Each structure stands twice: as C-alpha cells, then as structure tokens.
Amino acid sequence: MNLQLTLIRRSCLIAIGCAILAFHTSSTGMAQDRAATAVPAGINDKFKDPELNVDEWLQRFEVESREVYGARKEVLQACEITPGDTIADVGAGTGFYSRLFAKRTGLDGWVYSVDISPNFLQHIAARATADGIVNLTPVLGTDVSVRLPTESVDLVFICDTYHHFETPSASLASIYRALKPGGRLVLIDFERIPGESREFILGHVRAGKEVFRSEIENAGLEFVDEVDVPAFEENYLLRFRKPQ
C-alpha cells in the first residue's frame, strides 16, 4: 500500500513538473513572439523632436529614388479616389501624398494629414497655404489614436508608417472607428524577408507582410487584394475594406 502511494505521489509530481515545464515553454515562446514583433525602442523619437529639421526629411522623402515617391501616380490609381472623398493620410510626413489627395478629391472632399510630428504638420499647413490648397486639415495624432471623428473618412492611407505604430491594436481600433462603413484602407510597407531584405529593413521593420495583414484583419477590416506596383522592389501595397 505504501509503495502504491509512493508511486502515485511520484506520478503526480512528474505530471505537475511536466505541466510547469510546458507552461514555461509556452510562455517563453509567446514572449519570444512578442519580442520578435516588437517596435524598435525609440523608433519615433526623431519625429517628436522639437528640433526636427523638415528640410532634411524633404531630401529623403520627396526624391524619385524613393519607391513610394517615384511610383506616386500608380499608388494614386490604386487608391481609387473619387471627387468628394474624405481621406486620412496617416503618417503624412512631409505631406506630398496629402497634397495629391487634396487635388484628386476636389473641393467637395477633404484630407486630414495625420502625424505625430508637430514640425511636419506645420510644414504641411504652410505648404498647403502656399499651394492654394484649402481642403486639408493637419491633425496631431498620438501613439494610440489617429484622433479622427467616428465614421468620418472614406479612405485611410498608411504609407511606410504602419511599422512605426507603437500600439498597433489601439491605433487600428481608432482607424476602424474613423472609417465609414464600406470605407477603404490602403497599406504600403516594406517587404521583410529574412535572408533577402536589407539589414536596415530587418532591424527597422518589426514584422513581415503576413503579420501586418493579420493584425489589420483582426481589427475588423476585410482584406481585398494586393496591388502589383511594377516600380516597387522593397514595398508592397495591400487594400482592405470596412464591412458595410
């Protein structure tokens, strides 16, 4: 009898130990997954810096050698903008797409240039005034929200910016709220393929296309398609829609 009790106790201890080990292994795996997709620390500090020099970024953003600038006509076509659309350019940067959107949607439409950088927004406002663009509003976003009214926009455009979202789920929730039923989201970001992508991309972009697509779908948006942009070598363009 004592022998049987001893064996039972040993079996229980072994089972408990296995369960603890399995839990630890699972937790470690989840932690590693989170670490693998974590936004690099301080990724947005330079944009929030009050000393940010916009001219330096103009030389980086608005040059033909940058894929998303050189292919701007093809990207505009993929956005399928119609006159009267209300558009949110999230992560507007220097605002070159915002200005293109404002011209495409016309005076019956509107563009919200959303960014976390006050200096970029000041530049966007000044440039819009200089260009005679009156249907554009700069919006100071946060790390958790695009700060737009509920069901206020037909299109959300996120170009080379999603990998900068420090709290993707919260930011996507605010985007979902801001989109009208049937509204569209266009995402452009960098292909992140270990063994193929540049070291800068591997170290700067937290995850690949499939992860980003999954996060957006989990936020409630439906995947529509991937648009082939011939000029893109490092970027991709995905389209989504908010259910009616």
Identify the bridge partners of residue 239 per DSSP, sorted by sequence position. 186, 225
The C-alpha atoms of residue 126 and residue 189 are separated, in whole angstroms, by 27
Predicted confidence (pLDDT) at residue 11 exceeds the cutoff of 80: no
Which residue from 217, 196, 219, 194 is spatially nearest to 207, judged by alpha carbons?
194
Task: Supply 167's token pair.
Answer: 């709290």
How does strand 179-190 pair with strand 235-241?
Answer: antiparallel
Q: What is the pLDDT of residues 13-29, one digit of tens each?
A: 333 343 333 333 333 33
What share of residues in the chain are helix, strand, coil (percent, to 5)?
45, 20, 35
pLDDT of residue 149: 98
Going from N- to C-terminal start, the domains of the chain cover: 1-36, 45-241
**Over the stretch 190-201, which tens digit does the pLDDT of each residue have?**
999 999 999 999
Q: Which has the closest alpha carbon to 223: 234, 210, 208, 232? A: 210
Distance (Å, whole) CA 124 – CA 138: 7
The first and second tokens of residue 113, run together, are: 């240039």
Tens-place pLDDT, residues 143-199: 999 999 999 999 999 999 999 999 999 999 999 999 999 999 999 999 999 999 999
Burial class (CB in 10 A: 0-12, 13-18, 19+), 22: exposed
Averaged confidence pLDDT in the chain:
88
Q: Tell whether domain 45-241 is in CATH 3.40.50.150.
A: yes
What's the number of CA atoms in the CB half-sphere (13 Å) around residue 231? Answer: 13
Please give the span between the terminal C-alpha atoms of the chain, in angstroms, as a whole number: 69
């009898």: which residue's tokens? 1
